[in-house]
Amino acid sequence: MIIINVKENESIDRALKRYKRKHRNIGVTREVRRRQEFVKPSVKRRREILKAVYLQEKMNEEEEK
């Protein structure tokens, strides 16, 4: 639970902005999306390897140009 204390003479817009910043920084939305489905460690590792290979090929293409 995120708690935002509204200070004296602080507008509600300012407090809302602080809330949104705090919400984004702790990664609530990211965590909820990650927990929607379970990904086996082997599948996660395979995705990371494929992503690394893809990025490496992109880097090689840029160096050749």
Each domain of the chain, given as residue ranges in start order, spans 12-64
pLDDT at 1 over 80: no
Report the pLDDT value the prediction gives residue 55, as an integer from 0 to 100. Answer: 97
Report the pLDDT value the prediction gives residue 3, as an integer from 0 to 100. Answer: 86
Report the pLDDT value the prediction gives residue 58, as an integer from 0 to 100. Answer: 95
The residue type at 64: E
Distant-in-sequence, close-in-space partners of 28: CB < 8 Å, separation ≥ 6: 2
Token duo for residue 40: 């086996």
> Which one, of 29, 8, 7, 32, lies nearest residue 18 by Cα?
7
Q: Give CA separation, 33 vs 18, 27, 29, in Å.
A: 23, 10, 6
Q: pLDDT (tens digit, 9 = 90+) per residue, 4-62?
A: 889 899 999 999 999 999 988 888 888 888 899 999 999 999 999 999 999 999 999 98
Report the pLDDT value the prediction gives residue 28, as an integer from 0 to 100. Answer: 84
